[in-house]
Homo-oligomer: A and B are copies of this chain.
Amino acid sequence: MEQAVITAAILVIGDEILVGRTKDKNIGYIAEYLTNIGIDLREVRIVPDVKERIIEALDALRKTYTYLFTTGGIGPTHDDITADCVAHAFNVPIDENEQALLMLRERYAEPDLNEGRRRMARIPHGATLINNPISKAPGFRIENVIVMAGVPHIMQVMLDDVAPTLRMGQRIHVATIDCGAITEGLYTTALAALAQQHPDVGIGSYPSFHQGGFRSQIVVRGRDEGKVLAAKLAVEEMLSIISG
Contacts and interface: CB of A to CB of B under 8 A. Distances in A.
Contact of A188 (B15, B116, B184): B116
A21 B78 contact: no
B41 A43 contact: no
How extensive is the interface on chain A, given as a class?
35 or more
Q: How many copies of the shown chain assemble into the complex? A: 2
Contacts of A102: none
Contact of A219 (B16, B32, B46, B187): B16
Given A19-B221, A20-B33, A135-B214, 12 more contacts: A17-B28, A19-B31, A19-B41, A20-B32, A21-B174, A27-B46, A42-B53, A43-B45, A44-B44, A77-B187, A79-B203, A151-B208
Interface of A: 12, 15-24, 27-35, 40-49, 53, 75-79, 108, 112, 114-117, 119, 134-135, 151-154, 172, 174, 176, 184-189, 191-192, 195, 202-209, 214, 219, 221
